[in-house]
Amino acid sequence: VNFIWPVMILFVMTSGEQEDIEGLRRLVGSNVSLATLLLAGIGAALLVAGVSGASASGISREGSQFFTSKYLPAPYLTQLKAKMTVAFLLALAGFALLLGVLAVLFQLPAAAIGLLLLATLPAIAFPVLAGMLLDVHFPKLVWDNEYRAVKQNMSIVLLMVISGLAGAACIWMALRYSAAGWTPAVTAVLLLMAVDAGLYFMLAKKGADWLAAISA
C-alpha cells in the first residue's frame, strides 16, 4: 500500500487542469512556510505508515508456523525488534518515495527534503510501535488464507484509524495555524518522540513475556 501513494499523486497531478496545478505549485513554492510543510509532512507520514500494516500483522502472518519462533536462537525481544525494523524500513521507503515525487512536482529545496525526512522519523515509528503492541496482544494466528491475516485483522484497522486521525489532525493544524510559526511542528515532533519512547519502553519491558505467552 505504501507504494501506491506516489502513483496516486502522479495521476492526480498529470490528469488535472494544468493551470490549477501550476497555481498550486506556485502557492507551495512561495507562500507556504517550511514549518507548515513540516507539520503537514508529519501528518502525511502518519497516514502512510499507518496504512502499511506490516507491524500490526507481523506476528499474525506467521499463522500456524508461529511455533517456530519459540525455537529460534534469538531472544523474543530481538525477534520483535527485527519485525519492527522491517516494518519501519517499508514505511520509510514508502514515505521517502512519496516525498521524492512531491519534491519534484513542487520543486522543494534539498534542505526542506532533508528536514522533512528527519522530522518525520518519529511519526513513522509511532504506527510501527503501536502496531506491534496491538499484534502482540491480539494476534490472529488461525486463518486458512494468508490474506485473512491482513484484510480481516482488526489490529490493522484500529491502527489505521488511530494513525489516520493523528495524521489528519497534524494536516489540519498545519492549515489552521500556519501563522503560529514553528511551535505546532516542534510540539508535534516532541510529542511523538515522547509517545514512541513510552511505547518502546513498554515493549522492552513486557514484549518478551507477551510473545512467550502466545500459543499457535
- How confident is the model over 133-182, as pLDDT tens digits? 998 888 888 777 766 667 777 888 899 999 999 999 998 998 888 777 88
Q: Which of 212, 105, 123 is nearest to 162 (CA)?
A: 123
Q: What is the pLDDT of residue 51?
A: 86
pLDDT tens digits, 71-111? 778 888 888 999 999 999 999 998 998 888 888 877 778 88
Of 9 and 39, which is predicted with more confidence? Answer: 39
Q: Which of 196, 188, 175, 71 is nearest to 130 (CA)?
A: 196
Q: What is the pLDDT of residue 14?
A: 65
Q: What is the pLDDT of residue 137?
A: 86
Burial class (CB in 10 A: 0-12, 13-18, 19+), 18: exposed
pLDDT at 19 over 70: no
Distance between start and end Cα atoms, the chain: 28
pLDDT tens digits, 177-214? 877 788 889 999 999 999 999 999 999 998 888 888 87
Q: What is the pLDDT of residue 85?
A: 94
Q: What is the pLDDT of residue 130?
A: 94
Which band of pLDDT confidence, cut at 50, 70 and 90, is reported for residue 216? Answer: low
Cβ atoms of 24 and 105 within 8 Å: the answer is no
Helix axes of 183-213 and 34-50: crossing angle, nearest 10 degrees: 20
Q: What is the pLDDT of residue 162?
A: 93
Average pLDDT over residues 102-125: 87
Q: Residue 113, CB half-sphere, CA atoms under 13 Å: how many? A: 16
Q: What is the pLDDT of residue 99?
A: 87
Which band of pLDDT confidence, cut at 50, 70 and 90, is reported for residue 131? Answer: very high
Q: What is the pLDDT of residue 122?
A: 96
pTM of this structure: 0.84
The C-alpha atoms of residue 173 and residue 56 are separated, in whole angstroms, by: 27
Distances from the Cα of 86 to the Cαs of 10, 37, 51, 83, 147, in angstroms?
26, 27, 15, 5, 19
- For the chain, what is the mean pLDDT? 83
Average pLDDT over residues 16-38: 64
